Amino acid sequence: MAMTLASLDGRSQAEDPTISPLAVRGLTVSYGEKPAVFSVDMTLSKGRMTAIVGPNGAGKSTLLKAALGIISPLAGQALVHGKSLKSQRHRIAYVPQRASVDWDFPTRVIDVVLMGLQRELGLLGRVRAHHRERALACLDRVGMQDFADRQIGQLSGGQQQRVFLARALSQNADLYMLDEPFAGVDAATERAIIAVLKSLREEGKTVVAVHHDLATVTEYFDDIFLINTRKVAEGPVETTFTAENLNKTYGGRLAMAQIDQLELAAG
């Protein structure tokens, strides 16, 4: 039987749709004595958008970073499409929390997007015309094509966020992990970002995003994962986004009046 390059890559082989694109098992992460994430299981469903919701300091960013292997957990593991993270890491695109990135060093926007092609380019690979075209197409998708030659440090926060998303797109991943993609962006940028995420979902890709705005959970997401160091609940928004689960997650820090205004599932 002929083995094509594509099948060697593993992407084009028919993949069992019931296997989770990301399954986290027993994950515990600690920076000091107290764990920031404790014994967490998380199972993302293919082709769906999941919101990770919880208060400041709940371990949301830590969970994403540990699931990606950026920080090592004390215990637990992440399986990507049922395989080791190491062998599948290239199938995940990550957009970090904006405040955590320092863009003072001079880099052009187009070069930031080309970083997403690193694996294809290899260590010594030359950027060819078709790479540049692909990067520009990704910038176009987020409405930033005209900024390709600008310095990233000279862009506004919302514009930078769009560029990070373009970098993630250029990777052509299956799973997109975003840490607060809507933080500090205006309504137009928020709409542009959500449109891109929804189009990824239409292509069958899986999206998970840390999200603080409870008012848009129902409109934007299919599934929700509630965390406060430990997992509180996970499942479809229609059944899991309840006042009871929010109370458990925020420990009374949300006023009832605030909760009353939300489009919640019947709890």
Ligand X SMILES: Nc1ncnc2c1ncn2[C@@H]1O[C@H](COP(=O)(O)OP(=O)(O)OP(=O)(O)O)[C@@H](O)[C@H]1O
> Which residue from 22, 58, 78, 175 is in contact with ligand X, where contact means CB under 6 A?
58
Do residues 157 and 100 touch, judged by C-beta distance below 8 A?
A: no
| Structure-block tokens of residue 262 | 């939300």
Task: Single out the residue of 13, 16, 18, 31 in contact with ligand X (rule: CB under 6 A).
Answer: 31
Site string for Mg ion, 87-126 (x = CB under 5 A): ----------x-----------------------------
Q: How far apart are CA 113 and CA 148, in angstroms?
A: 9
The residue written with tokens 């082709």 in the block is 47
Residue 178's binding partner, choosing from Mg ion, ligand X, none, with beta-carbon cut-off 5 to 8 A by kind? none
Least distance (Å) between residue 122 CB and ligand X: 31
**In angstroms, rounded to a whole number, what is the distance separating the alpha carbons of residues 223 and 47?**
11
Binding piece for ligand X, criterion CB under 6 A, among 58-66, 81-89, 109-117, 126-134? 58-66
Assess 56 for contact with ligand X (CB under 6 A): yes
Q: Does 228 bind Mg ion (CB under 5 A)?
A: no
Comparing CB distances to ligand X, the nearer of 159 and 229 is: 229
Q: Strand ranges (DSSP E) for the chain?
A: 23-30, 35-43, 49-53, 75-80, 83-84, 92-95, 175-179, 206-210, 223-228, 230-236
Q: Which residue is nearest to Mg ion (CB)?
A: 61
Q: Map residue 154 onto helix, strand or coil.
A: helix
How far apart are alpha carbons 72 and 86 in whole angstroms?
A: 13
Residue 259 burial (CB < 10 Å; 0-12/13-18/19+)?
A: middle
Nearer to ligand X, 61 or 88 (CB): 61
Among 36, 68, 169, 233, indicate the residue that binds ligand X (CB under 6 A).
36
Q: How far is the CB of 97 from ligand X (least distance, A)?
A: 6
Residue 50 C-beta: closest distance to ligand X, Å: 15
Tokens 């176009």 appear where?
Answer: 140
Nearer to ligand X, 122 or 251 (CB): 251
**Out of 49, 50, 51, 61, which residue is the one contacting Mg ion (CB under 5 A)?**
61
Q: Rule CB under 6 A: is residue 102 a binding residue for ligand X?
A: no
57 binds, among ligand X, Mg ion, none (CB under 5 to 8 A by kind): ligand X
Does residue 168 contact residue 96 with C-beta atoms inside 8 Å?
no
Output the six-digit token pair for 161.
């966020």
> Which two three-digit tokens encode residue 36?
């920031």
Binding site for Mg ion (CB under 5 A): 60-61, 97
Binding site for ligand X (CB under 6 A): 31, 36, 54, 56-62, 97
